[in-house]
Amino acid sequence: MRRLRTVADAGPTVCSATRGDGQPCRAAATRSGLCMAHDPALREKAQEARRAGGYNSARAARLGKLVPPRLMAVYDTLELALGQVYRGEIDPRVATAMASLAGAMVRVLTSGELEARVRALEERQPPATNGRRWR
């Protein structure tokens, strides 16, 4: 079976590491000859930054204010899939399907939330009668 062509196939510098499943990594290489995921220097730098800045908790706190709690896990899964596509670990078509389903989930959840907020506003302020709000 012919394997899918990736962006990395076209370029001259492809990561020289081997993936967990024994296949060669096809991600674009940095100057070290390894991709961002496989380069130990870059990985260490990222870990240091996370330790120093409390990256994960800060990010979770920032995201928690923007994303409904039900969608946090979806976000994490999509973020994971982004790296997996980049490293050639999952079929990009799978990721496309995931993104499409996640989009549908977001639409359902946000429309439900909007409706709840409109209802709460309406309950706080009864509708005016005969165009007169005050007597």
Question: Given the rule CB under 5 A, which residues bind Zn ion?
Answer: 15, 17, 25, 27, 35, 38
Q: 10 Å Cβ neighbour count for 35?
A: 23
CA distance 92 to 81: 9
CA distance 83 to 69: 23
CA distance 10 to 53: 37
**Smallest separation, CB 97 to Zn ion (Å):** 24
**Smallest separation, CB 38 to Zn ion (Å):** 3
Nearer to Zn ion by Cβ, of 37 and 74: the residue is: 37
Nearer to Zn ion by Cβ, of 35 and 81: the residue is: 35
Give the contacts of 67 (CB within 8 A, at least 6 positions apart): 75
CA distance 54 to 62: 12
**Smallest separation, CB 10 to Zn ion (Å):** 16
Nearer to Zn ion by Cβ, of 35 and 85: the residue is: 35
**Smallest separation, CB 29 to Zn ion (Å):** 7
Nearer to Zn ion by Cβ, of 68 and 89: the residue is: 89
